Amino acid sequence: MNNSCFVSWSGGKDSCLSLYKAVKHGYSLKKIFTMFSMESGISSAHRLKEDIIKAQANAIGTEHIIGRALFNEYEEVFVSNLKAFKEQGIEFGIFGDIDLDEHRDWVEKVCKKADIKAVFPLWKSDRKELVKEFIHKGFKARIILVNKKMIDTKFLGHDLSYALLKEIEKCGADVCGENGEYHTVVYDGPIFKKPVNIKCKADIIPVGDQWAQIEVDI
Strand order in the sheet with 63-69: 63-69, 28-37, 4-8, 92-94, 117-119
Residue 170 lies in domain:
127-217
Query: What percent of the chain has a predicted confidence (pLDDT) above 70?
Result: 100
Q: What is the pLDDT of residues 56-93, one digit of tens each?
A: 999 999 999 999 999 999 999 999 999 999 999 999 99
Residue 45, pLDDT score: 86
Say whether both 11 and 96 belong to one domain: yes
Out of 119, 140, 170, pick the residue that ends a domain.
119
pLDDT of residue 212: 97
Mean pLDDT within 133-157: 97
* Average pLDDT, integer, range 154-173: 96
HSE-CB for 7 with a 13 A CA cutoff: 30
Which amino acid is it at 192?
F
CA nearest 158: which of 168, 176, 148, 144? 144
The phi and psi torsions of 55 (rounded to 5 degrees) equal -65, -40
In whole angstroms, give the CA distance from residue 70 to residue 91: 27
| pLDDT tens digits for range 6-19 | 999 999 999 999 99
Label residue 1 by pLDDT band (50, 70, 90): confident
User: What CATH number did the domain enclosing 84 receive?
Assistant: 3.40.50.620
Domain-ending residue, one of 119, 149, 175 = 119
Q: Which of residues 119, 151, 167 is at a domain's end?
A: 119
Asked if residue 131 and residue 107 are part of one domain, the reply reads no
User: For the domain that residue 155 is a member of, what is the CATH number?
Assistant: 3.90.1490
38-53: pLDDT as tens digits: 999 999 989 999 999 9
The whole-chain average pLDDT of the chain stands at: 97
Identify the bridge partners of residue 32 per DSSP, sorted by sequence position: 7, 64
pLDDT, average across residues 143-149: 97
Q: Tell whether 104 and 173 lie within a shared domain.
A: no
Into how many domains does the chain fold?
2
Q: Are 38 and 13 in contact (CB under 8 A)?
A: no
